[in-house]
A and B are shown apart, each in its own frame.
Chain A
Amino acid sequence: MLLDGLSSAITGLPMDAGHAEKHLALWQELAEGVSRLDEPGMRVSYTHNTAMVAAAYLEDGVQVGRAYLAEQETPVLRAAAMAGLASGVAERLERGRQPQVN
């Protein structure tokens, strides 16, 4: 449950410089929590996916993601991470074009 909370916190943080350090710290805590689990089931893979979506928002998050993918040997987490990184890049693309004020 704590990992769900961390995941919520990550996705809830605004993507701006004021929250940069907190964002990354939460992500690390989440990733470390995931690494301690024996069976990466749905909640774990989805949480992992969400973390990577968030990571892709970071200017250097894509590079960190690449490094992670190069080392990740657990197929289900690798798949979730790749999907998350792709989603994150797509989200960035969408936010860039979307009107911010109605």
Chain B
Amino acid sequence: MSWINRDSVLGVLVFLSVGSAGIGSAEPVVQEAVGWANEASGLIAELTGEAEEAQLDAYDSVWLWRDLMVAQGRLGDAEGLEVTAARLRGLREVMGEDERGWLASVESSGWAGAERWERAEALAAKATGVDQWEAWSELAYYRGRSGDAAGLEAGMARVYAALRAAAGGVGDVDEFDVDFGWYYAVSSHAWGGSAAATASAWEASRGLGDPVTQRGVDAVLAWAFAESDGLGHAERARRLATRMQAEIDALTAKEQAGEVEDFDPDFPESELLRLDLIGAYAALGDVAAMDRELRLLGGATCCWTG
């Protein structure tokens, strides 16, 4: 595209090294970022709604609000954070009472990302079932990201106990919610920021029983392990990615042959799994494998982005 002058950018491209001193020396950039976040918050509010002319469906805007909260919290923009949280809460009027628990869960995640733990906990307490597991998982994840390894492990222990109880028939949730809860929890745990966390997530996720959930969890773990390359998981990531690639290819063949029960052509399981596999290969730096998977996705027919 014309707005990217590739040559000039490449000519001066210098990446930040992980573990550098951060961007304290680039304070004007932080201020500029605060301005972007605030302007984005206003624009998204204008564009969001259920009316036909709305450019962003209310549901679609939810994660943008959440991400903005996280950004504003980390940029130290307390005022902007409150405004954005209020806009996210305001979606209750558009989306209705049924979504109250889910919105509380997402807002909890935003506060957790901004490291406002008490507000995150208070909102998570208002959610129930899968919404609450999501909120708890996010809380634990951000605890880990903040360097609080003990907080991560304690938080995830709470999530796993609730999931095991639900799988045993406790609580008013369905099987899909429990499966999704496992996927979400393991992902959050594995990305919690430590070698111990990824190992714990692996242990917690063995023998889930349902093959679809297990495949989903294993694929995302391949990516998470690959992301943890610096923590000594590269070899494990490679083994898991190789196994998942074989499983996904076999699943694709079965889907194409019409041998998968309850097959949803809009959301083929193999395509969703392949996204995680692409992430894993990318993180491993295996460009050839990544390109192969991208080509397979490129030939797919799923609806999401055309």
Interface residues of A (CB under 8 A from B): 1-6, 8-22, 24, 27-28, 31-33, 35, 37, 40-47, 49, 57-62, 64, 67-69, 71-72, 75-76, 78-80, 82-83, 85-87, 89-102
Most interface-central of B24, B229, B297, B306 (chain A CB within 10 A): B306
Interface of A is mostly: helix
A8 / chain B contacts, CB cutoff of 8 Å:
275-276, 278-279, 282
Closest 8 CB pairs between A and B? Answer: A96-B22, A12-B282, A102-B194, A42-B60, A12-B279, A86-B37, A89-B33, A79-B43
The interface stretch among B98-106, B121-129, B155-163, B285-293 is B285-293
B246 at the A/B interface (Cβ < 8 Å)? no
CB of A87 to closest CB in B, whole Å: 4
B2 / chain A contacts, CB cutoff of 8 Å:
71
Q: Judging by beta carbons under 8 Å apart, are B40 and A86 in contact?
A: yes
| Additional A-B contacts beyond A79-B56, A87-B67 (20; CB < 8 A) | A1-B305, A2-B300, A5-B298, A9-B278, A9-B279, A42-B57, A45-B60, A57-B15, A76-B55, A82-B40, A83-B37, A83-B40, A83-B44, A83-B64, A83-B67, A86-B33, A90-B33, A92-B23, A95-B16, A98-B146
Q: Judging by beta carbons under 8 Å apart, are B64 and A46 in contact?
A: yes
Given contacts A1-B300, A87-B68, A96-B20, whether A79 and B40 have CB atoms under 8 Å apart is yes
Q: Judging by beta carbons under 8 Å apart, are A85 and B15 in contact?
A: no
Q: Judging by beta carbons under 8 Å apart, are A11 and B67 in contact?
A: no
A76 / chain B contacts, CB cutoff of 8 Å:
47, 55-56
A73 CA to B302 CA, complexed, in Å: 28
B251 at the A/B interface (Cβ < 8 Å)? no
A89 CA to B275 CA, complexed, in Å: 25
B238 / chain A contacts, CB cutoff of 8 Å:
none
B139 / chain A contacts, CB cutoff of 8 Å:
none
Contacting residue for B280 out of A12, A16, A49, CB 8 A: A12
Q: Judging by beta carbons under 8 Å apart, are B290 and A49 in contact?
A: no
Indicate the size class of the contact surface on chain B.
35 or more
A87 CA to B17 CA, complexed, in Å: 18
A100 CA to B115 CA, complexed, in Å: 19
Q: Judging by beta carbons under 8 Å apart, are B294 and A58 in contact?
A: no
Q: Judging by beta carbons under 8 Å apart, are B306 and A90 in contact?
A: no
B87 at the A/B interface (Cβ < 8 Å)? no
B74 / chain A contacts, CB cutoff of 8 Å:
90-91, 93-94
B4 / chain A contacts, CB cutoff of 8 Å:
27-28, 31, 64, 68
Q: Judging by beta carbons under 8 Å apart, are A5 and B9 in contact?
A: no
Q: Judging by beta carbons under 8 Å apart, are A59 and B16 in contact?
A: yes
28 contacts between A and B (CB under 8 A): A1-B297, A3-B304, A4-B304, A5-B275, A13-B282, A14-B229, A20-B10, A35-B1, A42-B56, A57-B16, A62-B32, A64-B4, A68-B3, A76-B47, A76-B56, A82-B36, A82-B37, A82-B43, A87-B70, A89-B33, A89-B75, A90-B71, A93-B30, A95-B16, A98-B145, A98-B146, A99-B147, A102-B194
A4 CA to B196 CA, complexed, in Å: 30
Q: Judging by beta carbons under 8 Å apart, are B30 and A89 in contact?
A: yes
Q: Judging by beta carbons under 8 Å apart, are B47 and A64 in contact?
A: no
Given contacts A12-B226, A31-B1, A102-B231, whether A1 and B16 have CB atoms under 8 Å apart is no
Given contacts A32-B1, A90-B75, whether A9 and B282 have CB atoms under 8 Å apart is yes
B208 at the A/B interface (Cβ < 8 Å)? no
Q: Judging by beta carbons under 8 Å apart, are B71 and A5 in contact?
A: no
A93 CA to B271 CA, complexed, in Å: 33
B170 at the A/B interface (Cβ < 8 Å)? no
A8 CA to B304 CA, complexed, in Å: 14
A50 CA to B22 CA, complexed, in Å: 20
A47 CA to B306 CA, complexed, in Å: 13
Q: Judging by beta carbons under 8 Å apart, are B305 and A2 in contact?
A: yes
